[in-house]
Amino acid sequence: MKADAKAKLTVSAIQRFCMRDGPGVRTTVFLKGCPLRCKWCHNPETQNASPELLYYAKKCLNCQACLACEQGAHSFSEGRHHIDKSKCVSCFKCAGICPSSALQISGKVMTVEEICSEAEKDLAFYGESGGITLSGGEPLFQPAAVDLLLRCREKGLNTVLDTCGYFPPELLAPAVAATDLFLWDIKDTDDERHKKFTGVSNKTILENLRKADELGAIIKLRFILVNGVNSDERHYEKCAGLCRSIRSGVKPEVIPYHAFGGVKSEFLLKRGGGRSEWIPTEEQLAQFREYLGI
Ligand code: SF4
Ligand code: SF4
């Protein structure tokens, strides 16, 4: 299968010199769009597939230039800046005139070739193991992510796919063929809790995982630990069982909940915020790791 280098993807951000998104030094491409709505999401700016407005209140100069918005989404009273996101039609005129970058756009449409070229700029730093990592959001929410993996492969880059596992099964075989390592994030083995906290069942995720393993994918399972949500021994046991069931698994990882996603929600003008009571204790992390044998 040959990559379509002209296929387009909506990119939230490209981060260079990442050390935690797979082996070696990596360029991580965050793609927009996700079928899940995890209440603890670390990257809420990637959930929506379309470009959207971000507002960084600390950078705002209160210059009122954004009153130029034809929809009347911006207003000022008693020295405070208010934004009515329900009026915003995402024309991004205000972001273009904001002098302090308090208003920014999350989401840039780029071709597969353009993204690949960005990753190639750091070729000298990748060494034998580094390369490109696709993250999100769910990278496969945009099927052209497979073209991006293929194109990177054609150029000799090591490819990692950070996935929540929820994607159409027809994308699985081409994704496996173009990916050196899957970072497969498991949110919860309890389906009712999975539905409650992510908005979807875990059945598709676990079925895709089983099939990816059958197809020979190299998989690193990553378990999100959220205190009071999935911090119970029954879940730890099932996770250990999942690790044992993977034939080509590499050492799994426990990822503790952190509250930064909540801060990002504020930039998106969404309600919510981080929940400090969800941060797991060191004892919980150690107990979970013991079940996983890591
Ligand atoms: S244009 Fe930018 S700096 Fe000026 S008030 Fe609007 S958001 Fe703040
Ligand atoms: S993006 Fe456009 S519609 Fe939305 S607030 Fe800015 S100027 Fe108004």
- Note the pLDDT tens digit of each residue in 168-222: 999 999 999 999 999 999 999 999 999 999 999 999 999 999 999 999 999 999 9
Q: Residue 126 phi/psi, 5° resolution?
A: -75, -30
Indicate the angle between helix axes 282-292 and 233-245, nearest 10 degrees.
40
Q: What's the average model confidence in pLDDT over 134-163? A: 97
In this predicted structure, the answer to whether residue 250 has a pLDDT above a threshold of 90 is: yes
Residue 21's beta-bridge partner residues? none
In this predicted structure, the answer to whether residue 134 has a pLDDT above a threshold of 90 is: yes
Q: What's the average model confidence in pLDDT over 104-127? A: 96
Is any ligand 1 atom within 6 A of the Cβ of residue 67?
A: no
Confidence at residue 249, expressed as pLDDT on a 0 to 100 scale: 86
Confidence at residue 45, expressed as pLDDT on a 0 to 100 scale: 87
Tell me which of 3.30.70.100, 3.90.1150.10, 3.40.50.300, 3.20.20.70 is the CATH number of domain 8-49+108-292.
3.20.20.70
Q: What's the average model confidence in pLDDT over 228-257? A: 96
CA nearest neighbour of 241 among 226, 252, 227, 256: 252
Is any ligand 1 atom within 6 A of the Cβ of residue 100?
A: yes
Six-digit token string for 211: 């099939």
Cβ neighbour number for residue 140 with a 10 Å cutoff: 27
Is any ligand 1 atom within 6 A of the Cβ of residue 66?
A: yes
Confidence at residue 258, expressed as pLDDT on a 0 to 100 scale: 83
pTM of the shown model = 0.90
- Provide, rounded to the nearest whole percent, the portion of the chain with pLDDT above 70: 95
**Per-domain residue ranges for the chain?**
8-49+108-292, 52-106
In this predicted structure, the answer to whether residue 272 has a pLDDT above a threshold of 60 is: no
Confidence at residue 1, expressed as pLDDT on a 0 to 100 scale: 81
Return the amino acid letter for 48: N
Confidence at residue 264, expressed as pLDDT on a 0 to 100 scale: 60
Same fold across 8-49+108-292 and 52-106: no
Q: Lowest-pLDDT range, 18-22, 197-201, 258-262, 283-287?
A: 258-262
Q: Lowest-pLDDT range, 24-28, 54-58, 108-112, 162-166?
A: 54-58
In this predicted structure, the answer to whether residue 97 has a pLDDT above a threshold of 60 is: yes
Q: For a pocket test of ligand 2, which of 93, 101, 267 has the largest count of ligand atoms closer than 8 A to its C-beta?
A: 93
Distance CA 193, CA 165 (A): 17
What integer best gives the mean pLDDT of the chain? Answer: 94
Confidence at residue 248, expressed as pLDDT on a 0 to 100 scale: 87
CA nearest neighbour of 72 among 56, 88, 53, 95: 88
Considering the domain delimited by 52-106, tell me its CATH architecture: 2-Layer Sandwich (3.30)
Ligand 1 center from residue 67 Cα (angstroms): 9
